[in-house]
Every structure is written in C-alpha cells, then in structure tokens.
Amino acid sequence: MNSEHGGQPYIAAHTSSSYSINNPYSHDGPEEMVELQSPRPYRSPASHDDQGSDFDFQFQQDQQSARPAIVPYRPGLGHNPPDYTSSPGLFPTPRTSYGPESFVNSPFASRSASPTLYQHSQFESSASLGRIPLVSKPASPAFAKDWIHSGSIARLSDRDDIDIWKGWKRVVFMFTPFLTFANTAIYLFYLGLRIYCIISAQNAANITFAGAWVFVAIEVAVMVPSLMHNCWTMMAAKKRGRPKLRLTGNDCPTVDVFITCCGEDDDVVMDTVRGAVDQDYPIESFRVIVLDDGRSASLEEAVNNLAITYPNLHYMAREKIPGKPHHFKAGNLNYGLDQTHTLEGGAGQFMAALDADMIPEQQWLRAVLPHLLVDPKMALACPPQLFYNTPASDPLAQSLDFFVHVIEPIKDALGVAWCTGSGYVVRREALDQIGNFPLGSLAEDVATSTLMLGKGWKTAYIHEPLQFGTVPEDYGGHLKQRTRWAIGTVDTAFKLKFCLWGDAVRKMSFAQRFSGFLYATLSLYTLLLTASIFAIPIILLWGKQLVAYANQDQLHWLIWTCFATTLANRLCEFALFIPAGYHTGQRGSRYQLWMSPYIALCIVRSFMLPSWLGGQTQAFKPTGSLGSALNERDAKLRKNMFVRLRVILFNFMALFHFAFVYVTLIAVVISTYRCFKVEKGFKDIVVCLLTHAFWPPMTFLFLCSSLWTPVSYAIDPPSMPDREELLNRDPKTGVAHPTSKSKKIAFGGQAAWFELELTVGTVLTVLVFVYSFFF
C-alpha cells in the first residue's frame, strides 16, 4: 500500500539496524517474515503528500496560540531545545534537538498536531522485540514460564474470539451470508408480488386501493434498515483472520494511557484508575494520566494518594475559559497529548484511552499492542466495550452486544473497524498526521478512525473481552447517550461527505466508504421510519383493505410467499444473532423501532430547525454526570410508579409511544368488529381479518410491543444491586474487576415474553399457510 511514509514501515523501537520479525498473522510459522527497518526521522504533518485537504467544512476554531518549536516544555528550562542528558525517568530522555513545528488544517478544524518524540524508546537492549522469534507454541492463559521468551509476541490462537464463541455456533454462522441472500431475494419477490397484485386488483375492479398502497409503503419503510443490514452482513462471507496475540517480556513500547472523566463519581473513576495502573506491563514503559474535565478536588486528592504507590500515575485538569470552545472529549484528549511532552521522558510511542467507567483487564495492553507492532500501517486497535451492570433481559438494549459481536467483526474483516471510544491503542504517528483528535464532532472516535482510514492507515478490532464498564442507570441518561451518538454520527457524515468523495477519504476502499455511508444513512433513516410507524394506526382506523388481489390464486400466492418470507427471516435472524446471542438480536430489532422517534426528533432539531423554531445547538452531556432522579433501578430508593410514569411519559416524551399503542389496538378492535359484522361465512371472515389487520405475521403486534418499551420500563423497571456487589475487589490493593456473573446478561421474563410474541406470529403464519389450501 502506498503511503505518505515512503513505504517505509515504522515500529515502536529505536535501533540503528534493520531486523526482521516473525509475522503472527501468518500460518506458515517462521517462514514468513516481515521486514522492519529503522524509523524515519520525524516529519511534521505539513510535509506529507496529503497537505491541503479539500475538506472545506470549518467548525469552531481553537484559539490557542501555536508553539514555536517541537520542544517538550520542562519547568525551569528556556525555549531553546537543550541536549538532554540521560536520566533515570519513566521514559528515557531524548538526546536530540528539534526543528520548527509546522501546522496543517485538518478536516475537522482540529488544532495542530503535537509531534511525538519518536527518537526515544525502550528498545535499547539487545533482547529487543525484533531480535527474538515469535512464540508459536500453544500457551495456556497462565503464561507458563517454560514457553515465555523475553521481548517476543506470542500467538495464542488463530482467532482472537476463541474464548467468546465456538463449536456448533461457528458452523451455523458460516451459513449467514447464504441465508441472508435467500432471505433478501424471497422478500423482494414477495414485495414485487404484492405490488403486482395491487395493480391487477385495480385493473379488475376499476378502483384505487389506497390503503393497500400505503400498507406496502409502510412495509418497505420498516424493512429497509433490515435490507441494508442484510447487504452488509452478506459480506460476512469474507473470512476474518485476526489472531489472539500477547506481547511478552519486558522490552515493551512506551504508552500514555489517558482516562477521560467529567463529573463521574470518584469511586467509579478510581476503579478504572486502579485497573489501569495494575496492568501486566512494565511500570517504566507506561503512564496513566487522569484527564479531569470536571476539575474535582476530591478526585485529584484520590489520584495523588494512589500515585504514592504508583509513580507512573498523574492527574491533569485543563483550564476552560468561559466563552472559548473547549471541544469536549476531543479537546481533553488533545490537551493530554500536549501535556505528555512536559513530563519526564516526553511523549510515549503509543497512546491509549479509557472512559471513566471502563475497567481494563490486566492483560489489556499486552493483548492490543501486538496488533500494532506487527503491522507498521496499523494506526489503531480497539477491543469491544462490554458492561457489567446490564439488568436481566436488558430492556433498553443497552448492551451493544449485536454491534460488538456481529457488526464490528464483519467490519474488521473488511478493513473498516471503527474506534469504539474506549480501550483503544493508537499510534502517535497516525494521530500526528490527522492533526490529533478532530474537533467539532460529538463522535470524535468515529471521526478519528475514519480520517485515519482516509489517509491510508489501517484499523483493527480485537474481539476479546478486555474492558468492562457501566451502562447508564436511568432512562434519561440512556436517551442522552444514544441520541448524542446518533447526532455525532450524522454530523461526522455530513462533514466527511458521507465518505463518498473528498480528500479526507481519498484512500478509503469501497467497503470502507460503503460502511461510512451505511451507518450515517441508517441514522437519517429514522425520520422516514418514524413517519411510517405512526401511519399504522391511521390506515387501520381508515378501514380500507390493506392487501389487495384480483382473484383467489393471487391470494394463495400472497399467503405462500408471506409464509416463506417469515420463515426465511427467522432462520436468518437465528444464524446472524448467534455471536451476540439470539435474544440480544431480538432486543436490538425492537430498539431500532422505539428509539427512532427520539433520534428523529434530535436530528430535526439539530440539523433542520432554526433556533427560533426549537432548533438546538449540539451539546455534550457526559452520561456519567447525569443523576438518576427516579432511581428506577434501586429497589429501595426508586420513585413510585405514578411518578415514574409521569416523568417518562411527559418529561421524556414517551406519551407518543403510549398513544401509538392504544390507538393501534383500538383500530385493530374496530377493524375486527367490522369484519364480523359485515361478513357472514367463516372463510369470508378469515379473509377479511387477514386483509384488513391480521396479515401475517401480525406486524401491528410486533410494533406495539416494541413501542411499549418505555411504558413497560416505567411500570416495572429492572432492579440492580449496588455496584460494589458486581465486583471482585482485592482487599489489599483495592483493584476491582467484574464478577463472572455480572459480565453476562441474565435471561429474564421480558426476553421470554418477546420470544412468545414472535412464536405466536410465526405459528399464525403457519396456520394461515395450511388453511390456504382449503379455500
């Protein structure tokens, strides 16, 4: 792959000679070698070939002044770059001078990049990463000492997800592309037949079946997201070959680990901090820096007290001047990147980031970093965000399991893995090239990985359970989190021209462009989906025939194709949802429906309405700083049901959901009454019911159960124990990790109820199919 780096690979090591390293992605053992050369001298971003991006969207400009030179500031030193002498610090001190810093306008009006001190390194010993062959012998998780070789990368398995899912599930999942293709083809045939029958019926009766046309339009609108996902999941046919790697020994690259926080509870942040400093990683090779945008005195004190035990721990809080844009999380991260140059030893060779509530597993850095070390063009590697406080049945679909276990691995196989916002490790050289984290976006993680792909870098998704955090514990926090994600995705898509053209995405492949376009389009599609959903009760009250046909043969074919479509869809869902869990996928399907009005409303307010008509500027509210006024998941402190209903129905506008369900059910009752009153024979009554409200698999039932989610949550919210009960805490060190039980989502009554509804719909479809042969 051509690059701005002259095709010369970069590795986080400083040596004067070329050397080779076994490629752990290869199945050919030591025969396949990757040549790694000395890193090139640092060049400022302005010297790259991509200088002068044509991305013309200008957001709020950062007003900070430029530094005159690439010099790490140290107290007591002047501005002239001194020749540092070696000193025993956390990172070795560089013996070099630096030239003038250049600036380049980034696609997101980001501030200028902070150059990384690539010249210093921990790879000075003869036992460097490149000099010792990689371990190919299978290893146990205990890391038995008889197979460890200092300074090597161990290949533990051919698949990084070997511990997550295996056996018969993988065999079934192999059929997903074929089942998806068959499901799509059958549905398109069914849709074409529906349209043909309406036209035939109109020609035969010389009337217009307006209700049938509206019903077909609604079916299409509701199915479009699934069809778009089907096109995407058919790409699962491309085999994913990401191995499970471990960096062993003590010759490890230097890493700055940032923990971003803003008003979260000190206990939550400190659990993340303790997990970060307790990494199985040489203490002299990594720093943990708490970037506190809330400037909490109590948090600062707690961090400083812990730093007595862990000298590689630091606390930082930037000054936020009123009236001056601070760019939220992206600005906080960029501040941290700048400040690492002021610390002893300068900036690390890699940067890692954790959200305030994400507790990393002890092997986190050793698991993620090898994927960056073996590929000099790998800019970023990221594990999934997993959670330990998800309630049974996950009623609000907060777990993200379908995205992290199904969608992201498929995207990774196609070379378009997204940064998921926490737990990632990124190459500082790649950050420098895009001008650090882009400003002016609420989805700085997606924007960062997209810009890196646009520059020709690679991104990786490491499908291992390496971090566990918390989902919002209240309904309002969940809404603000998800609508913020949706707005950030759409905003980023507009600025990047939906990843279809422009210099910012110039080096993207077709799959990468299609992925960026798809997910931005799905967010915008909530506008049409919301309008289609609320048209259901209107056409049912209208009383018009929803399924039109010219003769009995056409009705038979419509019923048969509907039967085939329903069964094919259920088989496809079963295979596709397997990596995340079947019930997880079902929750995700409902989530798309009941959340669509919220997302649509936020998109309209953010991008379409002027302020005088209710438009809102994009605002960031950290989920962790939102107090739960209802305390709905605390069995002792939660407000009573009437208060919960009032707040969720009116304050959080679930009254729309409530009205939809009741109006739809009333419309179904009226439609049923009409059929029994007008028609006389059993056959005529059945056909009337089928063609007016109960067309299998009873779409109105699925829609009502989905839209009822906020109301059912208000009436009967799940109860969760205190957070401490979900953790195993070391009494000596205070380090806490989630229990095995808390890492899994328990099966609850709601999941059973959802499956009962789908089963009823499927059984009805089968019965109608059988009965169709008798009339």
- In order, the DSSP letters of 360-396 are EPTTHHHHHHHHHHS-TTEEEEEPPPEES-PPTT-TT
Characterize the bridge pairing of strands 313-316 and 286-292.
Answer: parallel
Hey, what domains does the chain have and what are their CATH numbers? 43-160+241-501 (3.90.550.10)
pLDDT at 571 over 70: yes
Radius of gyration of the chain (CA): 28
Lowest mean pLDDT among 238-247, 556-565, 617-626, 676-685: 617-626
Q: Rounded distance, CA 98 to CA 38, Å?
A: 19
Q: How far is CA 231 from CA 180, 183, 410, 541, 576, in A?
A: 8, 11, 12, 35, 13
Of all helices (H) and strands (E), which one includes residue 304?
Answer: helix 297-307
Q: Give residue for tokens 């009436």.
A: 715
> Which tokens sit at 79?
């501005």
Q: Rounded distance, CA 106 to CA 452, Å?
A: 12
* SS3 (DSSP) at 485: helix
Which is more confidently placed, 706 or 53?
706
How far separated are the first and last CA of the chain, in Å rounded? 64
* SS3 (DSSP) at 261: strand
- Cross-strand partners of 382: 461
- State the DSSP code for 774: G
Q: Give residue for tokens 């460097």.
A: 128
Determine contact, residues 258/291, Cβ cutoff 8 Å.
yes
Q: How far is CA 319 from CA 238, 261, 342, 435, 681, in A?
A: 48, 14, 16, 21, 79
Q: What is the mean pLDDT of residues 387-395?
A: 92
Q: What is the mean pLDDT of residues 458-478?
A: 93
Entry field: residues in the chain: 775
> Which tokens sit at 395?
């009623």
685-698 pLDDT tens trace? 999 999 988 998 88
* SS3 (DSSP) at 14: coil
Determine contact, residues 449/461, Cβ cutoff 8 Å.
no
Averaged confidence pLDDT in the chain: 78
pLDDT at 370 over 70: yes
Lowest mean pLDDT among 417-426, 543-552, 576-585: 576-585
> Which tokens sit at 597?
């009005």
Determine contact, residues 289/340, Cβ cutoff 8 Å.
yes
Q: What is the pLDDT of residue 721?
A: 94
Q: What is the pLDDT of residue 87?
A: 30
Determine contact, residues 253/130, Cβ cutoff 8 Å.
no
**pTM for the structure as a whole:** 0.78
Determine contact, residues 403/281, Cβ cutoff 8 Å.
no
Q: Rounded distance, CA 548 to CA 668, Å?
A: 18
> Which tokens sit at 605?
């307010």
pLDDT at 125 over 50: no
Q: How far is CA 343 from the centre of its chain?
A: 32
Q: What is the pLDDT of residue 612?
A: 67
* SS3 (DSSP) at 248: coil
Q: Rounded distance, CA 425 to CA 460, Å?
A: 10
Lowest mean pLDDT among 13-17, 47-51, 546-550, 629-633: 13-17
Which is more confidently placed, 268 or 612?
268
Residue 521 corresponds to which amino acid? T
724-763 pLDDT tens trace? 999 999 999 999 999 999 999 888 888 888 888 888 889 9
- In order, the DSSP letters of 15-51 are -SS-EEEE-TT-SSGGGSEEEE-PPPPP--GGGSTT-
What count of Cα atoms within 13 Å lies in the side-chain half-sphere of residue 114?
27
> Which tokens sit at 225?
């997201």
* SS3 (DSSP) at 156: strand
pLDDT band (50, 70, 90) for residue 400: confident
203-251 pLDDT tens trace? 999 999 998 998 888 888 777 777 777 777 776 667 788 999 999 888 8
